[in-house]
Structure 1
Amino acid sequence: MYLLSSPWVIFYLESVMLFFLLANLTDDGLQACVENPDFFAEACDTVEVPGARLLSRYATLGQYDFVVLVEADSAQTMSRLSVVLGANGHVHVESMQAITAHLMSEREEQLIRGSTPKQQIDPTQAAS
């Protein structure tokens, strides 16, 4: 078990991007799960996208059928993972980026003091 206040854990969590992948089964996915209850788990196990790692997955009640916690090196990698998992798992996918509460409070403090946090440049958004 990790202590979230550990400096190593905070550094690690700030050096990768975390996402929640919210998934709903398509009609084909529902049929596949009826035939094989482990279908979605197996689809998750076979998905390979360089720079992305599925940390945990949950079947849920409510608006989404599954929630998956994903670590990715970029938003583009997460986008690729969403497409691949959507196709292989027969799910409609919505992705949501997550940041640690520690990082959020640190940035709020910087804004209150008048300094801005370092901006990361997204190469897809950079002007040529």
Structure 2
Amino acid sequence: MLFRRKKTESTLDLSVDEINDLIRSNLEYAEQCAHEGNVSGMEMALEVALEQAQKIGRTLKLSRISEIKLRGYECGVEALQARIKSLEAEGKSVEAQRLQILLESYSNEVELFRRALR
């Protein structure tokens, strides 16, 4: 017999101002990650910002989020291309091929966001 564990509710009760600060700091971190090509960090920070905004009934501009994601995936493509070149130079073709798959995925995301922002 399987039992489900109750979902624990957050014991941290933040004020609206604290949540707004949390949203702002996560958006800033997402922009920083986007500039560095850190797609995972960018996506995580945006997810937290959107989740917190939803808690207080605030909406975030979809265009701003799309611009951050576009920049992040573009920089991610550049970072992956450089990493693939260095792996190929080291003779690590299997790892380079795996990153090539991720590169194609990032390139597709770039195209989707470019179309969305037109």
Higher relative contact order (CA 8 A, sep 6+): 1
Work out whether the TM-score is over 0.5: no
**Higher strand share goes to which structure?**
1
Of the two, which has the highest radius of gyration? 2
TM-score of the aligned structures, taking structure 2 as reference length: 0.28
**Higher helix share goes to which structure?**
2
TM-score of the aligned structures, taking structure 1 as reference length: 0.27
